[in-house]
Structure 1
């Protein structure tokens, strides 16, 4: 099926306050994941793999690094109609404000889409980790003669209370919707799912925040500026008026909503068979092609660790950790259960050799556990960071603690001998 009928919109999300401090100086889609990618690479790669080559990313907070990443990464042939464009919230004569919600973001940007030739709009979230062939969903949408399709994932009772839950009939049409139901309401909200999902107790269909709209319907809905959100207003309001169909997805999918889920998703990549498969030939994840040297490791005991390119590692031991691009870890240091994002550039040799300067990366004889080190961190010698549930949430200029995870802020300098 030709991807030319489909226009993809990737929603960059709001201020990303639940991912703070990782979103202090960048928008949520620009947050680095897996040591070398950014969150926005996931929906963009899913689109490219599904032959959907026209994408807009809608964002409004701290979009400079996102713009730079997209401009440096996604170059298509001069002769193709493919593009990835970032649209930031803009003040226009008709509108003075920021995007108020997901639907409002699309409404405010509609004038950019109207000139384009498309039949279906695919609406995606910029902060989810999954691999999905959207062609299958588009074909099912067309075949069912649906007005709106919603990607759904079966979840168990424990998770169901934190999602929008949909109920379907025997034709796969969505008949009702409830936002974050109370546990006592769940028995009446189960839907028909596959036997495998039933055996795992996943009997409830959660909305994944992935939608397909027919163009005419979307344009009509956008005329009404009282609705600001797809999940909370537009979907519930149209279930009885339009044919809304569920597209059930049973692969790995996680919503990177907070520091805890972000941390877990990254460290999950160190498993022997990670649920999110970066090694798939058909479902490649694309990112900026950096011309980095190979990683150099000396005298380090490595276990269940993912290391990106361009690193210099002399650590004593690294286990169950993700080490990002251009990371430097000095001798006799131990790193456990940690996501180190790496650096944007290499430091000059004279700075590294100057004892008065805390150089980038992790110094000598450090112990780092249950932590996230944002980009360009400078951690001195003999630093001890021992994250865990024994620590209370707090924030300083250089670090924050969220759910027991110590997050060292971007560019922070942690002096020699510092202890958390």
Structure 2
């Protein structure tokens, strides 16, 4: 998203607050906070949380605007709204639940149609990409988006780089080429500082500092910073948080019943190992 375009509309429209809206099928309205607009398609007339009777858009009755949680405020309007809310004993003092609905009631809220946002270097498949990663399965799916052959969110777009401050780590390293002990990563994203020592990673994201020891296997998984996977260990369909040590020969994502006894398992069957844990055999 290029936020400058949203800010430009906010200034041009003279709104107190502008809320980014993503077009979704009306059948999915019950999964989101929904923005209902007037006939002009811009002025917000209602801000509803997961409605069962949502009203479609004026120009597209089979769609609704889902709130993306991105806001642009005029500073004075925001200050006044927060002060008024602080003085209201009946308020929960929640931005989305109290402050913005108050501005909607005053006719000072507008929606920004995210589908109109133009990002350089983005093709038709990527246009309008957005994910709500509020569940474990959604978080997992967003990572799998990154490693698909034709990613719907392309980190390799040179015209719209994602700027960050990388750690001063060495390049990733792949060791050994022997029968059953070849360091390799297939359909995966491998970050700096990773060592794949005679191990195999498939359809996975290996974060900085991950170390895969000989004959270990990772498949369909997200390994956070500094995860250490012991010799011969197996991890499948999992989210492994930072600084986890998985002992040699241990298995995660292989036996569903055993996993549910030891770990959190998402509705979609993704095993989650918490930060700093040690997984023994």
Q: TM-score range by the shorter chain?
A: 0.7 to 0.9
Equivalent residue number for residue 175 of structure 1 = 45
Aligned pair partner of 2:248 in 381, 395, 399 = 381
Q: Following superposition of structure 1 onto structure 2, how do residues 117-136 of structure 1 map, counting pairs within 5 Å? A: 132-136=1-5
**By how many angstroms is 1:258 displaced?**
1.9
Query: What SS does the aligned partner of 2:155 have?
Result: coil
Equivalent residue number for residue 162 of structure 1 = 31
**By how many angstroms is 1:393 displaced?**
8.6
CA–CA separation in structure 2 for the residues paired with 1:154 and 1:265:
18
Query: What SS does the aligned partner of 2:222 have?
Result: strand
Contact residue 150 and residue 245 of structure 1 kept, 8 A: yes
Equivalent residue number for residue 153 of structure 1 = 22
**By how many angstroms is 1:316 displaced?**
4.1
Classify 1:216/1:370 alpha carbon distance in 2 versus 1 (closer, same or farther; 3 Å). Answer: same
Aligned pair partner of 1:254 in 117, 131, 138 = 131
Contact residue 186 and residue 202 of structure 2 kept, 8 A: yes
CA–CA separation in structure 2 for the residues paired with 1:262 and 1:392:
23
Equivalent residue number for residue 141 of structure 2 = 264
CA–CA separation in structure 1 for the residues paired with 2:203 and 2:186:
6
Contact residue 300 and residue 317 of structure 1 kept, 8 A: yes
Query: What SS does the aligned partner of 2:187 have?
Result: strand
Contact residue 329 and residue 362 of structure 1 kept, 8 A: yes
1:144 and 2:13 matched:
yes
Contact residue 82 and residue 99 of structure 2 kept, 8 A: no
1:245 and 2:110 matched:
yes
Contact residue 271 and residue 304 of structure 1 kept, 8 A: yes
* Poorly superposed stretches of 4+, deviation over 4 Å: 390-396
CA–CA separation in structure 2 for the residues paired with 1:180 and 1:313:
45
CA–CA separation in structure 2 for the residues paired with 1:373 and 1:268:
18
Equivalent residue number for residue 179 of structure 2 = none
Q: Which has the higher contact order (CA 8 A, sep 6+)?
A: 1
1:219 and 2:219 matched:
no
CA–CA separation in structure 1 for the residues paired with 2:207 and 2:220:
14
Contact residue 81 and residue 103 of structure 2 kept, 8 A: no
**By how many angstroms is 1:180 displaced?**
0.6
CA–CA separation in structure 2 for the residues paired with 1:289 and 1:309:
9
Aligned pair partner of 2:65 in 186, 202, 205 = 205
Equivalent residue number for residue 274 of structure 1 = 151
CA–CA separation in structure 2 for the residues paired with 1:259 and 1:395:
18
Contact residue 395 and residue 401 of structure 1 kept, 8 A: no
1:365 and 2:232 matched:
yes
Classify 1:232/1:274 alpha carbon distance in 2 versus 1 (closer, same or farther; 3 Å). Answer: same
Contact residue 187 and residue 204 of structure 2 kept, 8 A: yes
Question: Alpha carbon RMSD of aligned pairs, Å?
Answer: 2.3
Aligned residues: 256
Contact residue 214 and residue 231 of structure 2 kept, 8 A: yes
Query: What SS does the aligned partner of 2:66 have?
Result: strand
CA–CA separation in structure 2 for the residues paired with 1:211 and 1:337:
34
